[in-house]
């Protein structure tokens, strides 16, 4: 439980010190609801759950040795 608390604390420090100032510089004032959304998305790390490459299912590969 202590390690989880430390990890979340580190994420929060990163968000406060890096992400929010950058967003304020790029976008201007952020309302509290938008800050909450940014925090949730950053802590969730959704990009780790999205495949890095897309491959559509198609015809199965066949053995071409013959």
Note whether residue 29 is domain-resident: yes
Residue 51: strand, helix, or coil: coil
Q: The domain containing residue 17 runs over which residues? A: 12-46
Angle, vertex CA 36, rays to CA 31 and CA 39, nearest 5: 125
Q: Is 25 within the bounds of a domain? A: yes
Round the average pLDDT of the chain to a whole number and report it. 77
Overall number of domains in the chain: 1
Percent of the chain with pLDDT over 90: 2
In a domain, 63, yes or no: no
pLDDT digits (tens, 9 = 90+) for 19-37: 888 888 888 888 889 888 8
Check residue 48 and report its DSSP letter.
Answer: G
- Is residue 35 in a domain? yes
User: 0.95 cut: is pTM over it?
Assistant: no
């Amino acid at each position: 439980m202590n390690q989880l608390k430390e990890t979340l604390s580190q994420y929060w420090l990163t968000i406060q010190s890096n992400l929010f100032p950058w967003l304020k510089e790029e976008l201007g004032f952020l309302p509290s609801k938008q800050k909450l959304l940014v925090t949730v998305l950053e802590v969730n790390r959704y990009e780790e759950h999205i495949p890095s490459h897309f491959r559509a299912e198609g015809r199965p590969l066949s053995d071409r040795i013959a």
